[in-house]
Amino acid sequence: MRMSAGSGSPAPILINGSWRPARALETFTAFDPSSGRPLPGVYPVSSFADADEAVGAGRKAAGDLALVSSAVLADFFDLFARGILDRGDELVETAHRETALPAEQRLRTSELPRTTGQLHQAAESVRDGSWRQATIDTKFNIRSVREPLGGPVVVFGPNNFPFAFNASAGGDFAAALAAGNPVIAKGHPSHPGTTRLFAEIARDCLEETGLPRASVQLLYHLKPEDGLRLVAHPGIGATAFTGSRQAGLTLKQSADSAGRLIYLEMSSLNPVFLLPDAVRERGLEIAAELFSSCSLAAGQFCTKPGLTALLDNDDGRAFVSAVVKHFQSPPSGFLFSRNGREAVEAAVENIRRLGAELLAGGKLVLEPGYRFENTLFRISGERFLRNAGELQVEAFGTVLLLVCAESEDVLLHVAESLEGNLGIGIYSGSAGGRDEAIYDRLAPILRLKTGRLLNDKMPTGLAVVPSMVHGGPYPAAGHPGFTSVGIPPSFLRFTALRCYDNVRPDHLPPVLRDPNPTGRMWRLVDGEWTREDVP
């Protein structure tokens, strides 16, 4: 992304159902990561006046959206998913140019179906309604339910998932709108063209289904100070952010100071602990699996393993040698931006400065595009513990730190020193072996350090199922009680729990009246979950 004083006609923004020019003094262009060259298209950096207008329109739309039936809202999601597939070739081509992610294996085959699948899941959950947790106590005539926030949700999309986490179509978008809140999409400047295509499809689907015009709005970019003002705006319902720890914490400080809700998915090393029998029994297999997970998309997954801990014994040293051979292979892909490459370079220098031994890589790739060598470090457990805080800085690339612990007790101390993570994996040997005793000591420590605990599996992949948790203790996320992946649990971030005490039946929302409004909704009536009408 490069800022300019403005050249050419910048793309219009979407405000209250209409595409119009932004009130902007600056523009930017996206870049092809594989060449470093600018891509066609100029996009505006909106003024705060644009953001304020979007909030006002979204605030009005929130009231109108509350009156829309669940059937109509569900129809929107299904129609949107079909519209995305209809323009799938255009979306894949655009995202490939803007991110250099593989067009077929990643974008078309993996991420596009995941995105449309999320939308269809949202439609089914909206139709069912059980996620709203309607609770009825007939003895006291007290009823409660989860309802929309009453204002738009601002969604900040990340750079690494141009489809599945896109501000105009991804998981946070689907969760916020399914919960009944309009969305103000704040696109990522690395893929503005992709985000615009999604917004175009969404606008057409709004019109066809009759949803409020401002249910989906789009701003491509804001100045940092205006982004801080937006998340603190009294008219918004909440903010969802996926990105770096530094940016997330800055936004959180602004939102918190104004009492506005903000949900963050920020930073994670996703450590993997390898117990001795596992290394002895299948070390070569795990080494290949570890490198594959670490290098996927050039290491630009928020669930990438960035730290692996194991015992420093003969089997452990053989494992390290196997991992070195994998990391000496050519870089697996392109980093998304020049800034991203500089951030990886800084993270690598930080690890080196703190005394880790460089085993492979460590340098920029001096070829066109944004690339960095696969980089592997080793450090002793005792030395890691002396600088544990500083060494837990996410490197968004194919960078891995091996922590070789001198004993089982040191391995446990390494676990105790960890910050919060999205995922932590433990590999152990055959059932009933020596690893069981270590596992029983290690797992309770790690369970408190992560949202998702894995066994014999790398943390990279995420299944979009209701049981999935993509969140965790700080600094992985801003709140350990919520998930940004998994439908419908991800909806709950964008709701308010509201109570109706002795309210007359005709004044109650339909979900709390005696008849079950859908016939399939689960409600907690006098302590029992039921789909029946209230007696």
**Which tokens in the block code for residue 158?**
């990340």
Q: Indicate if 382 belongs to the active site.
A: no
Using an 8 Å Cβ cutoff, are 38 and 3 in contact?
Answer: no
Q: Indicate if 390 belongs to the active site.
A: no
Give Cβ neighbours of residue 425 (< 8 Å, ≥ 6 apart): 270, 271, 272, 273, 305, 453, 454, 455, 456, 457, 458, 459
Q: CA quadruple 323, 326, 331, 335: dihedral positive or negative?
A: negative
Catalytic residue among 265, 373, 394, 419: 265
What single DSSP character describes residue 216? E
| Amino acid symbol at 113 | P
CA–CA distance from 225 to each of 22, 156, 229, 234 (Å)? 17, 15, 6, 16
| Amino acid symbol at 139 | K
- How many CB atoms lie under 10 A from the CB of residue 228? 17
- How many CB atoms lie under 10 A from the CB of residue 285? 12
Exposed/middle/buried for residue 408 (C-beta within 10 Å: 0-12, 13-18, 19+): middle
Residue among 233, 176, 260 at smallest CA distance from 52: 233
Residue among 99, 93, 108, 107 at smallest CA distance from 32: 99
Distance (Å, whole) CA 135 – CA 318: 57
**Which tokens in the block code for residue 216?**
């989906």
Name the one residue in this structure whose structure tokens are 């295509």: 197
Distance (Å, whole) CA 268 – CA 264: 12
Straight-line distance from the first to the last Cα atom of the chain, in angstroms, rounded to the nearest whole number:
61
- Which run of H or E residues covers position 79? helix 70-86
Q: Kindly report the backbone phi and psi dihedral angles of residue 58, in degrees, each rounded to the nearest multiple of 5, phi listed first.
A: -65, -35
- Sheet of 13-15, strands arranged across: 18-20, 13-15, 216-219, 183-186, 153-156, 238-242, 261-265
- How many CB atoms lie under 10 A from the CB of residue 465? 11
Give Cβ neighbours of residue 421 (< 8 Å, ≥ 6 apart): 268, 269, 270, 271, 449, 450, 451, 472, 473, 476
Helix, strand or coil, per DSSP, at residue 15: strand
| Amino acid symbol at 202 | A
Catalytic residue among 302, 373, 394, 419: 302
Distance (Å, whole) CA 402 – CA 15: 49
Residue among 179, 222, 219 at smallest CA distance from 199: 219
Distance (Å, whole) CA 351 – CA 384: 10
List the catalytic residues: 265, 302
